[in-house]
Amino acid sequence: MEATIECVQGNIASQDDLDAVVNAANARLMPGSGVAGAIHSAAGPALAEECRPLAPIRTGEAVLTGGHNLPNRYVIHCLGPVYGVDEPSDKLLANCYRNALALADQKGLGSVGFPAISTGVFGYPAEAAARVAVGTVKQALPGLESVKRVRFVLFSEADLAIYQSLCG
């Protein structure tokens, strides 16, 4: 079966038809602002408890936990690069997408949702980040066994338009 890439505008914490969603995490894997805030508040405090012994993680790394009260069985936590600080930022950002997909595939998952990692408080410009995200996913998907559906979940209409133009 051909793998598909979808782009939607929405909240990463309310994607109820995906096996896993990706958290734009901080190194300590603790609740924060943006995506990490939305995921931890929807998952409940047991997520932070499960995360504690897995932290800290390195830039570009991905780790997997349960989804707790989220509608998804799993959360894959990725630490994106801080733009202008963690270099080379494009390689480190690509590692997030590649490592998250590899973990999902190892678990035998069929579908994964990604936010626009690093484009919030970490300051990565939206269009440059989108090129890395879409390019890396397109490159990785044919080599995966179980992952057949990847969804980019964008918060803003402007970000959705960028992803749609790259995914088309």
Contact footprint for ligand ADP (CB under 6 A): 11-13, 24, 33-36, 38, 80, 115-122, 153, 155
Question: Smallest gap, in angstroms, from Cβ of residue 2 to ligand ADP?
Answer: 26
**Secondary structure (H, E, C), the chain:** CCCEEEEEECCHHHCCCCCEEEEECCCCCCCCCHHHHHHHHHHCHHHHHHHHHHCCCCCCCEEEEECCCCCCCEEEEECCCCCCCCCCHHHHHHHHHHHHHHHHHHCCCCEEEECCCCCCCCCCCHHHHHHHHHHHHHHHHHHCCCCCEEEEEECCHHHHHHHHHHHC
Question: Smallest gap, in angstroms, from Cβ of residue 126 to ligand ADP?
Answer: 7
Smaller CB separation from ligand ADP, 144 or 159: 159
Smaller CB separation from ligand ADP, 34 or 135: 34
Smaller CB separation from ligand ADP, 88 or 142: 88
Question: Smallest gap, in angstroms, from Cβ of residue 58 to ligand ADP?
Answer: 14
Smaller CB separation from ligand ADP, 67 or 80: 80
